[in-house]
Structure 1
């Protein structure tokens, strides 16, 4: 049995990668995170930043580890722009939960280099405008939960 925050080897592919039990193309590692090439990239240069300690999603991720994930993601985004790989922009992408397209249930940050016409789409556009009363009620609910 593992304790909270320990890698879950044998049942989580990212824990197996962190433990050196799965092959990967390593980009960066430190005491808190590992960054490696996505085996199924949406564009060339697609990197994943994964905490060493198992955390299913954002709810399970401690703030210090989360800060390191984002710091390494930021550094990788800068590196991608200087790498010579096609990169006119960057998407930093988190899928937190099945409804948000999470398929590996170990928190990870996608760092995705983008170029015009690269063929990958996320369609965040919406023509629906929420009424102010709905937005205010939602903001109030979030403020209460944030405390």
Structure 2
């Protein structure tokens, strides 16, 4: 199966390209969640956060930040930057990407809906996280 984002980079698939650097591409998603919503990807294929090299990750984040700053200076006053890695996190395309969703204080959108999850002090929610972080310290 061909990666749809790699096909966009190779110009085999159409996309509304909005910005580009030597190593990254920003384009409009098929289903935008806000006005100006775009995706920023590395041109090289990396499936997700777990396999993207640190230097490439920094390049993508820098491009996303630059885009957010340019949009904020123009007509937006906020931004959501979103990412999902892996099937459990609902990653829909197996090519690392950041969603950059420009926002206005008056847009009325809720891109961070209530999940219904409620942690309690007694459930030890963070004990497993602490143990994993301590066991996998760098």
User: TM tier, shorter chain?
Assistant: 0.7 to 0.9
- TM-score, structure 1 length as denominator? 0.80
Gaps of 5+ in 1: 1-9
Moved more, 64-73 or 17-26: 17-26
Name the structure 2 match of 1:7: none
Q: 1:43 to 1:49 in 2, by over 3 A?
A: same
Q: 1:131 to 1:76 in 2, by over 3 A?
A: farther
1:79 matched to 2:46? The reply is no
Moved more, 21-30 or 45-54: 21-30
Q: How many residues align?
A: 136
Kindly indicate whether the alpha-carbon contact (under 8 Å) linking 2:119 and 2:125 is maintained by their aligned counterparts in 1.
Answer: no
Q: 1:137 to 1:82 in 2, by over 3 A?
A: same
Gaps of 5+ in 2: none
- TM-score, structure 2 length as denominator? 0.84
Moved more, 17-26 or 111-120: 111-120
Structure 2 residue matching 1:75: 3-state secondary structure:
helix
1:33 matched to 2:24? The reply is yes
**CA-atom RMSD in angstroms:** 2.2
